């Protein structure tokens, strides 16, 4: 079973990339990310999908690389703000070429994700689409490129990019293998989404439960009255119930730390009470 690659491990393309100027076009940096930046990707990826997809991506990249020798493979995702993050790649060249597309806002991989269709570049040197990206990518040795969207139920979650510095064409076998691996990646990312949604739901439930407990204690309400009161606060503040609950819990925790070690429980209680306005005639009571 494959595992996530250590970005600090030597890459066969790094010697070539070291010979490329740090900037080969105005405002476009093309150089391998330092190890600390590559390691930081794990953090951004975890934030995107709760970390659930990361252990599954290594085997998918391994399999794609084995089925398409001479290829450089990467998996990227579409973020909630319509930016892109490369979750994992077989070597530094993947991150460089992905970053070029992100910076230039053009390229086969981005088009594949935006339009939800497979994009094939058979010969990078004669490709006239995406002129800025293709000229720079060809200078880095790119000969062909295959971009396959990673989609679930009509929603594009990301893309699988298969770059080749060896083959100036994309045959049917390579295309079929890439689509198969993209389907496996879609399963992994969809599962990560579900796990992350469930985790966030559980965390929200715990936070709301804590906030209800605070309101019950501070205002002497039962659980139903406290929930109604918390909902009313949320509506008046025009923020979600989860955010209202998190705000109350945070302020309560902050006050506990501030008053820790001090006497005067009544004063502390009165201070906490100011965080939760008392219900009006119709707030939480019949």
Q: What is the pLDDT along the chain (286 residues), one digit of tens a residue?
A: 333 334 334 333 343 343 344 444 444 444 444 434 444 444 444 444 544 555 667 777 877 777 666 789 999 988 888 899 898 888 889 999 999 999 999 999 999 999 999 999 999 999 999 999 999 999 999 999 999 999 988 889 999 999 999 877 888 888 888 898 899 888 888 877 776 666 666 777 788 888 888 888 888 888 888 888 888 888 888 888 888 888 888 888 888 777 665 555 444 444 444 455 555 544 444 4
Do 110 and 141 touch, CB atoms closer than 8 A? no
Give the Å distances, CA to CA, from 74 to 103, 148, 191, 205, 278.
17, 11, 19, 36, 55
CB-count burial class (<10 Å; 0-12, 13-18, 19+) for 64? buried
Do 72 and 90 touch, CB atoms closer than 8 A? yes
**pLDDT computed for residue 198 by the predictor:** 62
C-alpha–C-alpha distance, residues 156 and 148, integer Å: 10
Q: Indicate the domain borders of the chain.
A: 14-186, 198-273
Tokens of 209: 């439960």
Listed residue (75, 159, 48, 146) closest to 110, CA to CA: 159
**pLDDT computed for residue 196 by the predictor:** 64
- Pick 14-186's CATH classification: 3.30.450.40, 3.20.20.70, 3.10.20.90, 3.40.50.300: 3.30.450.40
Query: What residues have CB less than 8 Å from 274, skipping those under 6 apart?
Result: none
Q: Is 263 left (phi over 0), alpha (psi -120 to 50) or beta?
A: beta
Q: CA dihedral in degrees (246, 247, 250, 251; nearest 10)?
A: -150
Q: At what angle do helices 172-219 and 35-49 cross, to 10 degrees?
A: 60
Q: What angle do CA 254, 258, 259 make, to 5 degrees?
A: 120
Tokens of 152: 């679930």
**pLDDT computed for residue 98 by the predictor:** 94
pTM beyond 0.75: the answer is: no
C-alpha–C-alpha distance, residues 146 and 210, integer Å: 50
């Amino acid at each position: 079973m494959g595992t996530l690659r250590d970005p600090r491990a030597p890459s066969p393309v790094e010697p070539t990339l070291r010979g490329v100027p740090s900037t080969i076009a105005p405002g476009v940096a093309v150089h391998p990310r330092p190890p600390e930046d590559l390691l930081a990707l794990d953090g951004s990826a975890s934030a995107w999908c709760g970390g659930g997809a990361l252990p599954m991506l290594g085997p998918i990249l391994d399999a794609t690389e084995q089925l398409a020798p001479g290829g450089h493979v990467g998996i990227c995702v579409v973020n909630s703000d319509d930016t892109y993050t490369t979750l994992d790649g077989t070597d530094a060249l993947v991150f460089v070429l992905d970053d070029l597309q992100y910076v230039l806002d053009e390229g086969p991989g981005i088009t594949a994700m935006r339009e939800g269709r497979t994009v094939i570049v058979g010969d990078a040197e004669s490709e006239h689409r995406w002129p800025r990206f293709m000229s720079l990518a060809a200078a880095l040795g790119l000969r062909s490129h295959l971009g396959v969207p990673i989609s679930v139920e009509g929603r594009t979650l990301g893309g699988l990019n298969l770059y080749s510095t060896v083959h100036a064409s994309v045959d049917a076998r390579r295309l079929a293998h890439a689509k198969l691996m993209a389907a496996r990646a879609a399963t992994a990312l969809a599962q990560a989404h579900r796990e992350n949604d469930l985790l966030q739901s559980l965390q929200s439930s715990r936070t709301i439960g804590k906030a209800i407990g605070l309101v019950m204690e501070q205002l002497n309400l039962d659980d139903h009255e406290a929930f109604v009161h918390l909902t009313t606060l949320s509506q008046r503040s025009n923020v979600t119930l989860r955010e209202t609950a998190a705000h109350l819990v945070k302020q309560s925790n902050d006050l506990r730390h501030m008053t820790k070690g001090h006497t005067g429980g009544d004063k502390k209680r009165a201070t906490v009470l100011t965080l939760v306005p008392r219900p009006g005639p119709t707030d939480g009571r019949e």
